[in-house]
């Protein structure tokens, strides 16, 4: 019997958090799925991150076969050259929607990694290729804040780009201005990827206090674009920008996060600027969806925007909730409108959230405050509640008794008490050399850190290779492995790495392919930290980003956090109320779901079907 398949992908679902919140009766839909279906923790592949493991979920293959990671190096290019591994062209294994397409059936895809550029005929596609970083394909400008309150110079360099210091002054040289002398103005240099546009803000009083900001593209009171009161969002603003050299209409809004009653302090936050079309297939679907559900933002916010001070936690949650609700309503609309066989999506919200909040609930982190533990769990219940409601509404549309429904994550998070190292180690040991201008001297360099591993500058493979394959190559790998294994955290004295090995010795972690580094490593994550609060606060990357994942063993955990994630499935032939005692591999997701849905298993899949969750 033909069955439809629904895969609701949610980035960084942490099983320990879900299990606790279900126990607290805060996640009714997750609880319902567990009672009416089968539940398991799931082990990701290395590196434990987005680009790698969503590809595994869609193909049933390890990264050594599908070739995707967040950042990948393509052999044959310069060793310091990398690309983001989210484009469909980088996936070398058959994806589940390609199987469905061969059946002549329709797939509905929402922003799933490696799904764009579109590589099938029968598809409704919303979003991009699942890349969650800044400056995605169609992004015109990332979220940004303008303020006279924050001290930008105190921020780490990578965070300064999210804030611009502005001045408040008396309003002058305006046309059609009301007869008032107490108006203040700000000038906002809005920088997109291709241009800088000057906007102007007027700060107005209500009841004798400054409380509202009006936005203009020129100093003409009759040409207002938007307005917002303190603590509120403006209307959506449609404006013409440049994207890829062409004029493009796009949407944005702003929020007045802070405005002092005397008009001396201001903090105004601008959302991502994202076009009205180009992100949907068929193309005419974009405007149709905007007309019904409002503007689409692909990446409204992320952890760096919060830890920089450009946004606050409340604004972050409001933006993530807007996107989650938009995805949910669009999914329901498309699922009702079209005759489909596969629905698959990925929402990234929890990953962003956990990166800057895990210390609120995980005692491993030095910034954990036991007096605020309940507050932290309430915040997590609120955010995971967004996931719960998303799933509930999609279930209402598809739960017809003949559909296989799955909720799955790609990795988890652990407390960020990890001591990271890089090329400074190889320079110190004489494996990497630089020219006077700081560039790499390839004629002398034998090895280099690239993304989450070490590559040997190999003759015949790399453009400037100097190390011979064979004895020299193996000896060099042994030397570097020993150096890394003996590295100690200078603060705690603990080993920096829990595992360092050749890529072919890490096949169980999914390694061994030509896009994998010659040496892979897994950072050591202690469950009980020896780092105190004062020490961690002096290191900006630690004090601000409190949850992490990546180059870790898939089994790593801290006292609440874990790198494991979640797999839940319900539908015909699926055991009810079954909790699997042993974690699955994410490579089992596609084979199992296809088997249950009577869809052919992707041809490259290696993961086993989970027969123990299936009724006999």
Determine, yes or no, domain membership for 440: yes
Q: What is the mean pLDDT of the chain?
A: 96
**Is 162 found in the same domain as 95?**
no
Residue 550 lies inside a defined structural domain of this protein: no
157 and 217 both lie in a single domain: yes
Question: What sign does the CA torsion over 263, 269, 274, 276 have?
Answer: negative
Give the structural domain span for 182. 144-270
Which pLDDT belongs to residue 153? 79
* Main-chain dihedrals φ then ψ at residue 561, nearest 5 degrees: -70, 155
Residue 277 covered by a domain: no
The pLDDT tens digits of the residues spanning 195-238 come to 999 999 999 999 999 999 999 999 999 999 999 999 999 999 99
Residue 151: what pLDDT?
77
Domain-located, residue 577: yes
Task: Name the residue with tokens 């105004």.
Answer: 268
Same domain, 352 and 376: yes
Measured between alpha carbons, how far is 379 from 368 in angstroms, rounded to an integer? 14
Residue 132 and residue 149 in one domain:
no
CA distances from 148 to 209, 220, 254, 264, 272 (A): 18, 24, 16, 8, 21
Tell whether 455 and 519 lie within a shared domain: yes
At residue 106's C-alpha, the angle toward residues 614 and 611, to 5°, is 10
Question: Quick one: pLDDT at residue 137?
Answer: 96
**What was the pLDDT predicted at 205?**
93
Q: What is the pLDDT of residues 157-182, one digit of tens each?
A: 888 899 999 999 999 999 999 887 79
> Cβ distance 165 to 158 under 8 Å?
no
Q: Is residue 107 part of a domain?
A: yes
DSSP state for residue 470 in the 8-state scheme: T
Question: If pLDDT is split at 50, 70 and 90, which confidence band does 542 have?
Answer: very low
The span from the CA of 40 to the CA of 409, in Å, is 11
Query: Which of 390, 387, 606, 572 has its CA nearest to residue 5?
Result: 572
Report the pLDDT value the prediction gives residue 169, as an integer from 0 to 100. Answer: 96
Residue 322 lies in a domain: yes
Contacts of 153 (CB under 8 A, 6+ apart): none
* Percentage of residues of the chain with pLDDT beyond 70: 98
Once rounded to an integer, what is the mean pLDDT over residues 335-342? 98
How far apart are the C-alpha atoms of 324 and 330, rounded to whole Å?
10
Lowest model confidence (mean pLDDT) among 113-122, 142-151, 251-260: 142-151
The 8-class DSSP code of residue 155 comes to: S
Taking residues 354-378, what's their average pLDDT? 95
* Backbone phi and psi for residue 280, each to the nearest 5 degrees, phi listed first: -135, 150
pLDDT digits (tens, 9 = 90+) for 32-44: 999 999 999 999 9
pLDDT at 540 over 90: no
Residue 528's pLDDT is 83
- Rounded to whole angstroms, the Cα distance separating 489 from 128 reads 40
CA-CA distance, 35 to 54, in Å (whole number)? 26
Distance CA(403)–CA(103), nearest Å, equals: 17
Buried b (16+ CB within 10 A) or exposed e, 596-612: bbebebbebbbbebbee
Residue 539 pLDDT greater than 70, yes or no: no
Among the residue ranges 389-398, 404-413, 520-529, the one predicted with the least confidence is 520-529
Domain count within the chain: 3
At 261-296, the pLDDT tens digits run 999 999 999 999 999 999 999 999 999 999 999 999
480 within domain boundaries:
yes
Q: Please check whether residues 171 and 259 belong to one and the same domain.
A: yes
Q: Are 462 and 102 in contact (CB under 8 A)?
A: no
Q: What is each CA distance from 369 to 376, 378, 542, in whole angstroms?
A: 9, 14, 16
Task: Let me know whether 362 and 409 are in one domain.
Answer: yes
Going by pLDDT thresholds of 50, 70 and 90, the confidence category of residue 538 is: low
Residues 512 and 409 in one domain: no
Lowest mean pLDDT among 104-108, 367-371, 467-471, 519-523: 367-371
Interstrand relation of 123-126 and 107-110 (parallel, antiparallel or unpaired): parallel
Residue 291 within any structural domain of the chain: no
Q: What is the pTM of this model?
A: 0.96
The arithmetic mean of pLDDT across residues 440-450, rounded, is 98
Let me know whether 480 and 411 are in one domain: no
Compute the distance between CA of residue 306 and CA of residue 524 in angstroms, rounded to an integer: 27
Phi, psi of 607, deg, nearest 5: -70, 145
Cβ atoms 548, 413 nearer than 8 A: yes
> What CATH number does the domain containing 568 carry?
3.40.720.10
Tens of pLDDT along 57-94? 999 999 999 999 999 999 999 999 999 999 999 999 99
Residues 445 and 369 in one domain: no
> Confidence band (pLDDT; 50, 70, 90) for 488?
very high
Return the HEC string of 49-99: CHHHHHHHHHHCCCHHHHCCCCEECCECECCCCCEECCCHHHCCCCCHHHH
What are the angstrom distances between the C-alpha of 576 and each of 18, 355, 405, 609? 18, 33, 13, 17
Q: Is 128 left (phi over 0), alpha (psi -120 to 50) or beta?
A: beta
Q: Is the pLDDT of residue 100 over 50?
A: yes
Q: Identify the weakest region by mean pLDDT among 290-294, 307-311, 466-470.
A: 307-311
Are 401 and 445 found together in one domain?
no
Backbone angles phi, psi at 72, to 5 degrees: -125, 150
User: Are 79 and 199 found together in one domain?
Assistant: no
């Amino acid at each position: 019997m033909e069955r439809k398949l629904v895969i609701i992908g949610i980035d960084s679902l942490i099983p320990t958090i879900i299990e606790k919140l279900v126990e607290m009766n805060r996640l009714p839909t997750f609880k319902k799925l567990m009672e009416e279906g089968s539940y398991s923790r799931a082990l990701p592949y290395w590196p434990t991150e987005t680009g790698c493991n969503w590809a595994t979920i869609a193909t049933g293959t390890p990264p050594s076969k599908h070739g995707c990671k967040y950042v990948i190096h393509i052999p044959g290019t310069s060793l310091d050259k990398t690309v983001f591994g989210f484009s469909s062209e980088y996936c070398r294994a058959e994806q589940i929607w390609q199987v469905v397409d061969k059946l002549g059936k329709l797939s509905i895809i929402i922003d799933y990694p490696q799904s764009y550029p579109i590589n099938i005929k029968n598809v409704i596609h919303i979003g991009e290729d699942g890349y969650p970083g800044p400056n995605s394909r169609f992004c015109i400008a990332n979220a940004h804040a303008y303020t006279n309150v924050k001290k930008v110079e105190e921020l780490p360099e990578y965070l300064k780009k999210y804030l611009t210091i502005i001045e408040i002054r008396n309003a002058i040289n305006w046309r059609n201005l009301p007869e008032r002398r107490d108006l203040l103005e700000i000038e906002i240099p809005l920088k997109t990827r291709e241009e800088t546009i000057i906007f102007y803000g007027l700060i107005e009083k209500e009841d004798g206090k400054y409380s509202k900001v009006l936005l203009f593209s020129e100093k003409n009171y009759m040409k207002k674009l938007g307005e917002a009161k303190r603590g509120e969002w403006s209307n959506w603003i449609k404006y013409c920008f440049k994207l890829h050299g062409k004029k493009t209409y796009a949407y944005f809004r702003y929020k007045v996060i802070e405005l002092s009653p005397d008009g001396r302090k201001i903090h105004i936050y601008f959302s991502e600027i994202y076009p009205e079309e180009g992100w949907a297939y068929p193309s005419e679907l974009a405007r149709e969806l905007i007309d019904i559900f409002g503007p689409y933002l692909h990446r409204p916010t992320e952890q760096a925007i919060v830890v920089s001070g450009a946004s606050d936690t409340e604004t972050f949650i409001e933006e993530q909730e807007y996107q989650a609700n938009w995805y949910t309503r669009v999914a329901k609309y498309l699922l009702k409108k079209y005759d489909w066989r596969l629905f698959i999506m990925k929402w990234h919200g929890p990953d962003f959230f956990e990166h800057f909040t895990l210390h609120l609930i995980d005692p491993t982190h030095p910034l954990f405050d036991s007096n605020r533990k309940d507050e932290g769990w309430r915040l997590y219940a609120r955010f995971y509640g967004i996931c719960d409601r998303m799933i509930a509404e999609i279930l209402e549309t598809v739960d017809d008794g003949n559909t296989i429904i799955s909720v799955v994550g790609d990795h988890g998070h652990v407390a960020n008490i990890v001591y990271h190292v890089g090329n400074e180690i190889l320079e110190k040991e004489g494996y990497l050399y630089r020219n006077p201008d700081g560039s790499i001297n390839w004629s002398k360099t034998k090895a280099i850190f690239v993304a989450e591993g070490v590559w040997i500058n190999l003759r015949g493979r790399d453009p400037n290779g100097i190390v011979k394959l064979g004895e020299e190559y193996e000896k060099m790998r042994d030397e570097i492995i020993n150096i890394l294994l003996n590295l100690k955290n200078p603060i705690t004295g603990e080993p920096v790495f829990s595992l360092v090995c050749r890529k072919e010795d890490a096949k169980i972690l999914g390694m061994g392919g030509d896009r994998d580094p010659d040496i892979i490593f897994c950072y050591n994550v202690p469950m009980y930290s020896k780092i105190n609060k004062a020490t961690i606060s002096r290191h900006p990357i630690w004090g601000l980003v409190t949850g992490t994942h990546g180059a870790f063993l898939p089994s790593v955990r801290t006292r609440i956090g874990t790198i494991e994630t979640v797999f839940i499935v319900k539908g015909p032939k699926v055991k009810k109320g079954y909790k699997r005692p042993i974690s699955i591999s994410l490579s089992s997701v596609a084979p199992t779901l296809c088997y249950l849905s009577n869809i052919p298993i992707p041809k490259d899949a290696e993961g086993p079907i989970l027969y123990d969750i299936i009724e006999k």
